[in-house]
Amino acid sequence: MSSSSIGQRYVFTSFGESHGRCIGAVVDGCPAGLELEEKDIQKMLDLRKPGQSIITTQRKEEDKVEILSGVFRGYTTGAPIAMVIWNQDQRSHDYENLTLRPRPGHSDYPAYVKYKGWNDYRGGGRFSGRLTATFVMAGAIAKKLLTQTIGVDTYSYTCQVGKVKMNAQAAPKTKNSIYDNEVRCPDPKMAEKMRSVILAARRSGDSVGGIVESITTNLPVGLGEPIFGSLESDLSKALFSIPAVKGVEFGSGFYGSTLHGSQNNDEFVTKNGRIVTKTNNAGGILGGLSTGMPLILRIAFKPASSIAKKQHTVDVKTKKPVSLIVQGRHDPCVVPRAPPVVDSLVSVVLADHALRAGFIPSVIR
Amino acid sequence: MSSSSIGQRYVFTSFGESHGRCIGAVVDGCPAGLELEEKDIQKMLDLRKPGQSIITTQRKEEDKVEILSGVFRGYTTGAPIAMVIWNQDQRSHDYENLTLRPRPGHSDYPAYVKYKGWNDYRGGGRFSGRLTATFVMAGAIAKKLLTQTIGVDTYSYTCQVGKVKMNAQAAPKTKNSIYDNEVRCPDPKMAEKMRSVILAARRSGDSVGGIVESITTNLPVGLGEPIFGSLESDLSKALFSIPAVKGVEFGSGFYGSTLHGSQNNDEFVTKNGRIVTKTNNAGGILGGLSTGMPLILRIAFKPASSIAKKQHTVDVKTKKPVSLIVQGRHDPCVVPRAPPVVDSLVSVVLADHALRAGFIPSVIR
Amino acid sequence: MSSSSIGQRYVFTSFGESHGRCIGAVVDGCPAGLELEEKDIQKMLDLRKPGQSIITTQRKEEDKVEILSGVFRGYTTGAPIAMVIWNQDQRSHDYENLTLRPRPGHSDYPAYVKYKGWNDYRGGGRFSGRLTATFVMAGAIAKKLLTQTIGVDTYSYTCQVGKVKMNAQAAPKTKNSIYDNEVRCPDPKMAEKMRSVILAARRSGDSVGGIVESITTNLPVGLGEPIFGSLESDLSKALFSIPAVKGVEFGSGFYGSTLHGSQNNDEFVTKNGRIVTKTNNAGGILGGLSTGMPLILRIAFKPASSIAKKQHTVDVKTKKPVSLIVQGRHDPCVVPRAPPVVDSLVSVVLADHALRAGFIPSVIR
Amino acid sequence: MSSSSIGQRYVFTSFGESHGRCIGAVVDGCPAGLELEEKDIQKMLDLRKPGQSIITTQRKEEDKVEILSGVFRGYTTGAPIAMVIWNQDQRSHDYENLTLRPRPGHSDYPAYVKYKGWNDYRGGGRFSGRLTATFVMAGAIAKKLLTQTIGVDTYSYTCQVGKVKMNAQAAPKTKNSIYDNEVRCPDPKMAEKMRSVILAARRSGDSVGGIVESITTNLPVGLGEPIFGSLESDLSKALFSIPAVKGVEFGSGFYGSTLHGSQNNDEFVTKNGRIVTKTNNAGGILGGLSTGMPLILRIAFKPASSIAKKQHTVDVKTKKPVSLIVQGRHDPCVVPRAPPVVDSLVSVVLADHALRAGFIPSVIR
């Protein structure tokens, strides 16, 4: 399988480069009969779009999606759905001096070695965060499919920036307030503090990391497969494809490893005739399968590698030390733009599993 | 692709159940010409074997591997290598009362729903930690292949049990001392403290979680693929297949998300004519590709779900509450048995990528 | 994906060698709840077994299958079903002189080059017709699954040996008589003539080719996928894996290419309330999808390469000409042993598609 | 894997519909460093383009390809190469009455059932022969890659139309004359006869079938994999994706099944220091692996289903009989436009295998 593709039944292929003609996505396996128009996808792309506030990159991209195939008279046909966004505001000259002087924290160096210099290095090329817009194209469709067929819904939000963190998970009722602030944190007070941390980093020519939390409600019981098809396996594979992600955990995660079984086990109870667990340290997954409880995961983003401070590197040809100030327009913190990307990849993986397990049929109407 | 399989060029398929006739593995894509006998695999299986000390389960299994195919006159042939271990010490009656009374923290409940009761529930069946022995079968071959062809080596160890943790990464020179103690921690003082934590949990009929750290040295630069074939994607997919794993992080991981870019970026320098980084917060991976620095990852294990304490659950038929004391022989902490499993899966993924990228040819001799 | 595996939802992996310890199969993705015991598979293996008559090889193999996993209390569990047959009657010394002297018509030469001599050449190793017994293991389960869930049934038979051919397709009612004769031809008169052709070839130390025809009834409409997932694509991929197969055609096939559209098109009519076609030149497939009419295909087998006559070859080391008389026990015509193999692969492919399209659910009971 | 994709290392995904906005292809896995511009692809597309002569469809399409990604400064980068052709001369109204009245010999009926009417039926939609232009996009790149790296070359030609056939295979030296005539037959006399057969069919509102033969020279020995990765398996899977193909055979094929082993076996000899076979009834493949002899295959095309004659069908809603005259502009014989398509798919499969086996590296320069 191509390393630009993911999924078995809902198969998503990403193409394009940061400063090439366009970026695009092909989704194959979306059931026929789903009402779909460009604005369904555009809405979600707009939440990720750069240049929306002072705490994100100032690159201006409308990120206007065009559907090229797979939709006929407003409904999906069962054929592959190809989509593109034409790039607009590239400033490739910012990158000319980077070819031979790899930026610390970036893919430049291993990519140069791997491709012997043939890769399109402009703006990070294939390794750019810009490619996450293709994840959103595929994810917006998956999210709509899941909601409309089996009522599954995913929402993700910034839960930590630097050392500032929310105290608790966001309840479903707060999901509509996530996009009320630039930080994408449903707790407005914490959002304000996080914003200050990002602005402080920006002012000092630096960047800062953070954590996104993602919650999915209304999953059927038994989604996922044993061993290598576990939900955790497939979700983490997708999520680690987001540039800057360096950690993924489910439920009590790393904290849970400090506990005793008697503290971490979730006891089963019956509630309104349904079998549920009292607590949800498992994050909604046992044995790789969904338990019917909310799916909870957290994703650690490193601080963005592109900073305005002077850094040291080496010239890959001469191997001599050189210093470097990264030009270009960059996010001082990538986390505020990540929630729609996380929603998207979670939806892509869950749609794939829901189709594989027959929870969603190949023609939905 | 089957959810019991992983890999594109080094393809590993796992089969068997905890209390069935056997567990087994098929490895396809191992290059021809690798010297291989059963004892190469047995050595690594012995490190994972149950019943070795008071801090692990008392189930006795010799875990003696038999190679069924793919090896001729002591060398691999390029054909699939099938292997089995015949199960010996099942005590399935311990599980008879579990079918309808799902154990908290176990796959019992979602598996029951998914398979409508047809799954082999004995000892967790397909979801049992016992299946990690099949990972070791495939991994021992991958590890030997990597070492013998391109000198890549992986070592993993317990770095935390409950709240007791090592202060620093283990240097390569300590790798031979990992198996000197039952805990599999290269720091003998910390190992002793961890052992006490496990024994305390055991005495109180409880279990405790922990963390395994894994280090791989001598990787070539540029292993891995962009987007969904990133090393982090493929490694995490494999590692989350281990039962009880709830978190995976690379390099500075979750901690790194609290830092600034100027703190977390690894600057490039030249050392002995090679381009390296001064620090290694990236854990040896940038843009999903290996940088040539050591690959560093950590895996969070939840406390084992099977505890001797009374717990509450419900009967899946009547939906009435019932209490439960888990019978059977279980690990009070699964972490000490995990390092060879982690080594194995890391090796399987790296061998796959090394073959895909041509670092290892299809016939090695 | 491994080249020893086929399928997306019903995934079959084959392992073993002709003269190794065993041959085996792993089937993953078989739904839970199918009643299955070894004799279900044995029955079909017995139809393929060598040494049954004077017109087949005299190698004696009981071909007794053992199920190693995936079945619990007489029903499939949804876990991978591993199976083995232990080899018994190898006479490997017959092959010792073949390593460096490739047999005309055999895989010996390209396999030697590909594996640089590391492959297990005994009895053809991985390339032996003996591996088709693993196809039958996977196929017997697929066939039972198809019959029991959606009533699909496949029967295959010898329709040509050398130049002797049946005049018409065999009607479903004759399917029970296919195994009444050694040739596996439902027309007893033609069977007798074909038998004479095979015996004549045998007597002269020669071999003869032939054709198998396969018919599948009761397929639902719309099985298969556009483009690369067409039924013809997936069936031919499977069938060309049988050693000695050099041609595959569907419906009017090669003959159809001599016709006009007005002759070859099958007009639609309504019959008993169902839409059917008057003729079936399409062989039950249009646009890669099943039409609901019988699926009809024909497979051309070359004459077996192993003949007792003296042949010329070269020594691969010295590149000098040498002459060769192939030792060992061989089929003078492989066609009579092929029908259960064809049934098997057709069933494997159709079961895969039926699962992918949701005609068969993941738990069938 | 998506049914719109093929390949493991050279992965080609096709999208688009006959009368949609565009048709397109994404190729992932093409090595970095291949010189590539649109005209490399355009040249081959022009050979397939409709409207070129009186014996093909009169639909006018420029079929002008645009490369959207994966090429930088005139060389491939190792990233996915996305390409599109914008559709121009659709006349969809010709198809309005076809939705409910399936054309004999077309995918209309099973597609209607499969997609419950949601599919884009205009011009056959996803099932149209027009999609073979996407095969050429992917194939032109594969062909250039093979030629430039390992000197492998494929040429295909019309060898039979109706009952008129060439007597012998075309020698490599004739390959440049294939496109000298509209029929794409390297024998000008036979080409003239074939042209008459096609024109006669056209005049009578009918169509006619035919056969394409394909020859590939200079293959290395040992390409292909045992069992399901045999060259025959992968080539036939690709070739049966071409609409109207109903048979595929290699070497002596169906005719070979009438022969004796002593006639069909190809004896090995040494020629100019290379081991070759005296004859080539195997068509260059033994045991699924290339022998180094020319790869020879033949593909049977049924007569085009769209004919101007009145035909009978049924209304899928009322199930009442109706008569039908297929409107639109159609090929009276699809064979003359098929050779570049066959070249393309053969090249795609061989490039994939050459990359898998390491004959072509991931960066070629």
Query: D79 and B226 in contact by Cβ < 8 A?
Result: yes
Q: How many CA atoms lie within 13 A of C159 on its CB side?
A: 20
Query: D357 and B358 in contact by Cβ < 8 A?
Result: no
What is the sign, positive or negative, of the torsion defined by CA atoms of B34, B37, B41, B46? negative
Mean local confidence (pLDDT), D32-50: 95
- Contact list in A for residue B25 (CB cut-off 8 A) is none
Mean local confidence (pLDDT), A36-43: 97
Task: Say if residues B52 and C98 touch (Cβ distance below 8 Å).
Answer: no
D189-209 pLDDT per residue, tens: 999 999 999 999 999 999 999
Query: A358 and C357 in contact by Cβ < 8 A?
Result: no
**What is the model's pLDDT at position B117?**
94
- What's the token pair of residue D50? 């409709």
Residue D40 and residue D42: Cα distance in Å, rounded? 6
pLDDT over 90 (residue A358): yes
Chains that touch D (3 or more CB pairs under 8 A): A, B, C
Mutation for C interface: B8, B21, B77, most C CBs within 10 A? B77
What is the sign, positive or negative, of the torsion defined by CA atoms of D304, D309, D314, D316? positive
Interfacial residues of A (vs C; Cβ cutoff 8 Å)? 1, 8-9, 79, 226, 356-358, 361-362
Lowest-pLDDT range, A99-108, B344-353, C85-94, D315-324?
C85-94
B284-335 pLDDT per residue, tens: 999 999 999 999 999 999 999 999 999 999 999 999 999 998 877 788 999 9
3-class secondary-structure state, position C176: helix
Query: C79 and B365 in contact by Cβ < 8 A?
Result: no
- Contact list in B for residue A277 (CB cut-off 8 A) is 104
- Contact list in C for residue A364 (CB cut-off 8 A) is none
**What is the model's pLDDT at position B37?**
97
- Contact list in C for residue A1 (CB cut-off 8 A) is 1
Confidence of residue D141 (pLDDT cuts 50, 70, 90): very high
Task: Say if residues D208 and D198 touch (Cβ distance below 8 Å).
Answer: yes
D244-285 pLDDT per residue, tens: 999 999 999 999 999 999 999 999 999 999 999 999 999 999
**What is the model's pLDDT at position B330?**
80
The CB density around residue C172, as the number of other CB atoms within 10 Å, is 13
Residue D336 and residue D55: Cα distance in Å, rounded? 8
Q: Compare CB distances from C261 to D1, D289, D303 and report the shortest one's residue.
A: D303
Residue by residue, DSSP assigns D16-68 as E-TTSSEEEEEEE-PPBT-B--HHHHHHHHHHH-TTSSTTS--------EEE-
The shortest C-alpha distance from C27 to chain A (Å) reads 15
The shortest C-alpha distance from C179 to chain B (Å) reads 33
Residue C82 and residue C14: Cα distance in Å, rounded? 10
Residue A66 and residue A87: Cα distance in Å, rounded? 12
Mean local confidence (pLDDT), A163-179: 91
- Contact list in C for residue D288 (CB cut-off 8 A) is 107, 127, 240-241
- Contact list in C for residue D233 (CB cut-off 8 A) is 236-238, 240-241
Mean local confidence (pLDDT), A351-357: 97
Q: Compare CB distances from D69 to A1, A22, A81 and report the shortest one's residue.
A: A22
Interfacial residues of C (vs A; Cβ cutoff 8 Å)? 1, 8-9, 79, 226, 356-358, 361-362
D102-118 pLDDT per residue, tens: 999 999 999 999 999 99
Sequence-separated (6 or more) residues with CB below 8 Å from residue B218: B150, B151, B152, B153
Confidence of residue D92 (pLDDT cuts 50, 70, 90): low
Query: D365 and A8 in contact by Cβ < 8 A?
Result: no
Closest residue, chain C, to A357 (C-alpha) = C362
B111-162 pLDDT per residue, tens: 999 999 999 999 889 999 999 999 999 999 999 999 999 999 999 999 999 9
- Contact list in C for residue D105 (CB cut-off 8 A) is 261, 264-266, 282, 286
Q: What is the mean pLDDT of chain A?
A: 94
Residue A310 and residue A290: Cα distance in Å, rounded? 47
The CB density around residue D310, as the number of other CB atoms within 10 Å, is 11
H or E segment to which residue D158 belongs: strand D153-161
Sequence-separated (6 or more) residues with CB below 8 Å from residue B183: B55, B158, B161, B191, B194, B195, B198, B335, B336
Query: B356 and D226 in contact by Cβ < 8 A?
Result: no
- Region for D34 from its dihedrals, namely left if φ exceeds 0, alpha if ψ lies in -120 to 50, beta otherwise: beta
Mutation for C interface: A26, A225, A228, A364, most C CBs within 10 A? A225
The torsion of the CA quartet C68, C72, C75, C77, rounded to 10 degrees, works out to: -90
- Contact list in A for residue B273 (CB cut-off 8 A) is 319
**What is the model's pLDDT at position B49?**
85
**What is the model's pLDDT at position C171?**
87
Residue A180 and residue A185: Cα distance in Å, rounded? 8
Query: C82 and B16 in contact by Cβ < 8 A?
Result: yes
Interfacial residues of B (vs C; Cβ cutoff 8 Å)? 1-5, 8, 11, 13-17, 20-24, 26, 28-29, 32-33, 68-70, 72, 75-82, 84, 114-116, 118-120, 125-126, 363, 365
**What is the model's pLDDT at position B58?**
72
Residue by residue, DSSP assigns A326-363 as --S---S-SGGG-HHHHHHHHHHHHHHHHHHTTSS-SB
The shortest C-alpha distance from B363 to chain D (Å) reads 10
């299809």: which residue's tokens? B362
Q: Is the pTM of this model over 0.90?
A: yes
A250-288 pLDDT per residue, tens: 999 999 999 999 999 999 999 999 999 999 999 999 999
- What's the token pair of residue D55? 């014996």
Q: Is A353 exposed, middle or buried (0-12, 13-18, 19+ CB in 10 A)?
A: buried
The torsion of the CA quartet C33, C39, C40, C41, rounded to 10 degrees, works out to: 110
Crossing angle for the helix pair A231-239 and A339-356, to the nearest 10 degrees? 140
Give the CA radius of gyration of chain C.
21
ipTM metric: 0.97
Question: Can you give the length of chain D in residues?
Answer: 365
Closest to A19 (Cα-Cα) out of A174, A172, A170, A126: A126
The torsion of the CA quartet C141, C145, C147, C150, rounded to 10 degrees, works out to: -160
Q: Compare CB distances from C362 to A226, A357, A361 and report the shortest one's residue.
A: A357
pLDDT over 80 (residue D1): no
Mean pLDDT by 10 residues, chain B (365 residues): 94 96 98 98 93 76 94 97 90 64 95 96 92 98 98 98 94 90 96 97 96 98 97 98 98 98 97 97 98 98 95 95 85 95 98 97 94
Query: B118 and C75 in contact by Cβ < 8 A?
Result: yes
Crossing angle for the helix pair C231-239 and C339-356, to the nearest 10 degrees? 140
- Contact list in B for residue C80 (CB cut-off 8 A) is 2, 4, 13-16
Q: Compare CB distances from A11 to D1, D8, D79 and report the shortest one's residue.
A: D1
What are chain C's domains? 9-356 (3.60.150.10)
- What's the token pair of residue C150? 């959606």
- What's the token pair of residue D24? 């397109």
CA A137: distance to chain centroid?
11
Q: What is the mean pLDDT of chain C?
A: 94
pLDDT over 70 (residue D355): yes
Query: D15 and A120 in contact by Cβ < 8 A?
Result: no
Mutation for C interface: D113, D228, D271, D277, most C CBs within 10 A? D228
Mutation for A interface: C356, C359, C360, C364, most A CBs within 10 A? C356
What is the β-pairing status of strands A289-290 and A285-286? antiparallel
Instruction: List % helix, strand, coil for chain C (3-state, nearest 5).
Output: 35, 25, 45
What is the sign, positive or negative, of the torsion defined by CA atoms of A344, A348, A354, A358? positive
3-class secondary-structure state, position A291: coil
CA A228: distance to chain centroid?
21
Closest to A327 (Cα-Cα) out of A308, A311, A313, A312: A308
Q: What is the mean pLDDT of chain D?
A: 94
Query: D258 and C160 in contact by Cβ < 8 A?
Result: yes
Residues of chain C with pLDDT under 50: none
The shortest C-alpha distance from A345 to chain D (Å) reads 18
Query: D269 and C233 in contact by Cβ < 8 A?
Result: no
Please state, in angstroms and as integers, the Cα–Cα distance from residue A18 to each residue in A3, A54, A87, B336, D80, following that order.
Answer: 18, 21, 8, 45, 13
